[in-house]
Amino acid sequence: MGIEITGVGGLILLVLNIWAFVSIIGSNNSTGSKVLWCLLVLLLPIIGFIIWLIAGPRSASAKA
């Protein structure tokens, strides 16, 4: 049962990280800022996602 929960948790984290990448790339920030945010989320998946969720760049549609 532990393997199934870990697999589902990993899948959820993957989906959340993909959502973060799409939102980062769709934001109006500079290219350098986008690269740094993507690296943070890529290298630190859980912590990076939480930091991005709190302080990261917002998408263009969220600002409008």
Residue 63 has pLDDT above 80, yes or no: no
pLDDT of residue 4: 63
Alpha helices in the chain (DSSP H): 2-25, 31-43, 45-55, 60-63
For residue 18, how many other CB atoms are within 10 A of its CB?
A: 11
CA angle 15, 20, 22 (to 5 degrees): 95
Rounded CA gap, 7 and 22, in Å? 23
Cβ atoms of residues 21 and 38 within 8 Å: yes
Q: For the whole model, what pTM was predicted?
A: 0.77
Structure confidence by residue, pLDDT tens digits, 3-31 = 566 788 889 999 999 999 999 998 888 99
